Chains A and B, each alone.
Chain A
């Protein structure tokens, strides 16, 4: 199965600043990559699919890029509600797999 590796494990950023989260696949997943946000006690929320397409209702400050094995999620100006855990997920090969997550915390 494809292993997804996220970095860093924890990212400390001040509100209003930019956050850049990385995700690497153990083999090419083309653009079949999604990003999810998860807050404590809540289900994951789809942010990005197709590596760069925002899901319905997702603010424009969230953007995704990359293809093949290297991907990035950028949050351009952090709002208080953005502090959460972020997961990348590949759906190029079954079984689909997730990264271990990046915790975005307030600096």
Chain B
């Protein structure tokens, strides 16, 4: 059973960089034809796709966030990571990592989510 777990600071100051890591267990991040993905969900709102990475390092980002986002992968640690720079209060949300099982955008395994608050 594949499991994903987000980790990282729960509080980030405005203008700084939000950094999160997703650790994958129960299987190798390099096996299969999967994309590894980040989402976020502000309180009481819907889900926003942030971007994704393939284990080759190929990435795709949401155009609305592209200028501020970097997603990377470390296959030796079975992890992938999110960096979002120049954060503001609008970036406060629960951040989820997930597996795209189809490469098309169907997400079968999710982490439990981690709340990141942007505040001074």
Contact = CB atoms under 8 A, between A and B. Distances in A.
Interface of A: 1, 32, 34, 36, 42-46, 49, 55-56, 87, 89, 91, 94-101
A98 B105 contact: no
B34 interface: no
A91 B106 contact: yes
Contacts of A95: 49, 62-64
B110 A43 contact: yes
A94 B46 contact: no
Contact of B107 (A1, A42, A46, A97): A46
16 contacts: A43-B110, A43-B112, A44-B47, A44-B96, A45-B110, A49-B106, A56-B108, A87-B46, A91-B104, A91-B106, A95-B62, A96-B49, A96-B105, A97-B49, A98-B46, A99-B46
